[in-house]
Structure 1
Amino acid sequence: METKIFQSDQINQAAALLRQGELVAFPTETVYGLGANALLPESVKQVFTVKGRPSDNPLIVHVADFSMTAEFVESYHPLTEKIVKHFWPGPLTLIFKIKEGSLNPVVTGGLSTAAFRMPDNKKTLSLIEKTDAPLVGPSANTSGRPSPTTALHVYHDLKGKIAGILDDGATQIGVESTVLDLSGEVPTILRPGAVTQEALEEILGIEVPLDKHLVKESETPKAPGMKYKHYSPDTPVLMINSDDWEKALIWAEANDKKVGLLVTPKIADKYSSADRFVFADETVEAATRGLFSGLRALDEAKKVDIIFAEVFPEDHLGLAYMNRLKKAAAQNYFSEM
């Protein structure tokens, strides 16, 4: 299969393929999604096949406006209107109880709930409108690999497996959306992202708990990205605390390990002899934007035996960064042997 790259003036062609049941990757402000018409179960099944993704893992349904959810949602949480007003379009996925039979179980993972998002990307909103159907959109990569933040990343993983990719350059945020469960009484974050716990609590005026449960391989997750290990390159990753860089590099040299660094400029300047991917600046925003690109670049170069990654405080956006990094590293920090 030829995988076509679509530009802004070719959105109609991409939408036609989706209506026909083909798969087309699309850009969002977070990462690129692997699009299939959510109303065509056979197309959705192709998503799992192409990604090598477990079929019990629910998919996010992407809509062009909030009104598109009404066909599927059984009931809305009382805070839904306030949440949508402040955070849609944007990097926030909402989980609702759905009407029985309104979505095929292949979309929901067999659950009585479904996840919905309105992405903040004009090209993709136009694509959904022109398809005249919501789109499922898990990250457009091989399952378990770092999520794609450019069309080139998608092409690298899925060339010849999907019909097309709608290109809109690099994504702005770099990690997947926050997932907020609104199917129960208390809004609960199932996956942290750029819409932070603090931002939600400020707008809603209530405490919004974070579910830190890590789903084992034998469990069915309620939302994507809840697995214990995820986003992993083939090259092993270790997280390095700020006081451990010298010890970690000494350990690597003693064990004849070629190291790649995933770091801010300050750390990169200090250890300039190592292979490295350097974030644009010292901020957690830059680190989050570059995390998946850096993991991919160091892994695909095949020059290193292990990746040492810089950590950030686990608050605000740092919570999302560390959530993804911990899973990429299978929860492993460097510690002296």
Structure 2
Amino acid sequence: MTALLTDVAEAARLLRDGQLVAFPSETVYGLGGDATNDHAVAGIFDAKGRPHFNPLICHYPDAEAAFAHVVADERARKLAAAFWPGPLTMVLRRRPECPVALLAGAGLDTLAVRVPAHPLTQALLRETGRPVAGPSANRSGRVSPTAVAHVLEELSGRIAAVLDGGDCTVGVESSVLDLSSGGAALLRPGGITREQIEAVIGPIGTALPIAAAPEPTLRSPGMMLSHYAPGLPVRLNAAQVGPDEALLAFGPPLPGAALVWNLSPAGDLREAAARLFAGLRRLDEEGTRLGCKGIAVQPIPETGLGVAINDRLGRAAAPRE
């Protein structure tokens, strides 16, 4: 049975004992395990049904704790000063003495590290005294959770506890930036925009999702082509909607849908990001109950946080095997 906790000390004790604890962040709820404990890390993959070639992000209470386990150059330190704590993940080379389980990094010579801003998570990381591996607290490929109820729907009975921190504020995962090979590539857009990053370190490239290869190895979480997928098929850039479709709206909603979730009636991308995963989940569950054939999505501007929103929606709509 999964416990609902408000006691940080108890949550930290469970993590140190090798148990799995979902925790809040400013982005989405994470499924936490002691990153130095191979069995705990394996338990994360098992609970999520997650492909083992998809690395996990390791969470730290501050930059120096993170940089004790990875090699940080001047760019990484500038970004940490600008955006940590916050929704930016950096992929950097592991130090030889790094104690994080190899499975957490999918056996790579790199590690994805982040310092989250949520005060409850900060307290949890300091109390635990170890890095916490934490992918989103949902079944692999499913909609990411932004509330305790979402975590329990996905993982109740599969993890020890959920630390209740209320609803998440950003609503999309952290941006992931690869700095491990001399260049800089945005592996996943997220809560920190490309423009914000480039203002600190200059122009950066973009890595494409790996959709082919029988056993691809990814440098970052969230790069699977079909990801964040509800059960109902998703149709993007809808100009009209049928009576047998649920509608994910942005701004004034299209008429005629069986069910509507409006990301932001005012067309605010920050509000839309915070409501994205909850909206997909609601339309999927209620739409299925009503007999809807799919989810139609109104166009989202490809600017700022809209890039991250469209990235998630594109993965949700990708062909499935």
How far off its partner does 1:279 sit?
Answer: 2.0
Q: Residues of 2 paired with 1:218 and 1:37: CA distance?
A: 26
The residue that corresponds to 1:259 in the other structure is 245
Shift of 1:6: 1.1
Q: CA deviation at 1:202?
A: 1.4
* Match of residue 296 from structure 2: 308
The AA in structure 2 aligned to 1:153 is H
- Is the CA contact (8 Å cut-off) linking 2:210 and 2:216 kept in structure 1? no
> Paired residues, what number?
314
Counterparts of 1:180 and 1:127, CA distance in 2:
25
Quote how far apart the aligned CAs of 1:264 are: 2.4
Instruction: Tell me how far apart the structure 2 counterparts of residues 172 and 41 of structure 1 sit (CA, whole Å).
Output: 31
Aligned to 1:115: 112
Alpha-carbon distance in 1 for matches of 2:207, 2:27? 21
- Whole-angstrom CA distance in 2 between matches of 1:273 and 1:78: 51
Task: Name the TM-score, length of structure 1 as normaliser.
Answer: 0.89
How much is the aligned-residue C-alpha RMSD, in angstroms?
1.6
Matched, 1:63 2:60: yes
Give me the whole-angstrom Cα distance separating, in 2, the residues matched to 1:189 and 1:180: 5
Q: Deviations over 1:105-150 (max 9, x none)?
A: 2111010000000001010011011111010000000000010011
1: distance between equivalents of 2:167 and 2:196? 25
The unaligned stretches of length 5 or more in structure 2 are none
- Return the letter of the residue paired with 2:41: V
Deviation track 1:185-216 (CA, whole Å, cap 9, x = no partner) reads 12211100121111111122x21122234443
Task: State the match for 1:294 in structure 2.
Answer: 279
Please point out which of 78, 85, 88 is paired with 1:89. 85
Pair 285,272 (structure 1): closer, same or farther in 2 beyond 3 Å: farther
- Give the distance between the partners of 1:307 and 1:182, measured in 2 at CA: 37
The CA distance in 2 between the partners of 1:201 and 1:209, in whole Å, is 10
Question: 1:276 aligns to what?
Answer: 260
Using the size of structure 2 for normalisation, the TM-score is 0.94
CA deviation map 1:285-336 (0-9, x unaligned): 222111111110011122222000122122221110100000001179xxxx
Q: Structure 1: which 4+ aligned runs deviate by more than 4 Å?
A: none
Query: 1:79 maps to which residue?
Result: 75
Q: What secondary structure is seen at the aligned counterpart in 1 of 2:260? A: strand
Q: Which amino acid aligns with 1:183?
A: S
Matches within 5 A, 1:94-173: 94-100=90-96, 102=98, 103-173=100-170
How far 1:240 sits from its partner (Å)?
2.1
- Structure 1 position 24, deviation (Å): 0.2
1:233 is matched with: 230
| Sequence identity percentage | 38
Deviation (angstroms), 1:30: 0.5
2:308 maps to which residue?
320
Q: What CA distance in whole angstroms lies between the structure 1 residues aligned with 2:260 and 2:319? A: 21
- Using the alignment, how far apart are the partners of 1:275 and 1:287 within structure 2? 17
Q: Distance in 2 between matches of 1:192 and 1:47?
A: 24
> For 1:214 and 1:43, how far apart are their aligned partners in 2?
27
Query: In the TM superposition, what whole-angstrom CA distance separates every residue of 1:208-239 from its partner, at most 9, and x where no partner exists?
Result: 12223444363111100101100001111110
Which residue identity lines up with residue 278 of structure 2 in the other structure? S
Gaps of 5+ in 1: 333-337
From the superposition, tell whether residues 150 and 226 of structure 1 become closer, same or farther in structure 2 (CA, over 3 Å).
same
Matched residue, 1:6: 5
Amino acid at match of 2:261: F
Tell me, in whole angstroms, the C-alpha distance in 2 between the residues paired with 1:272 and 1:287.
Answer: 21
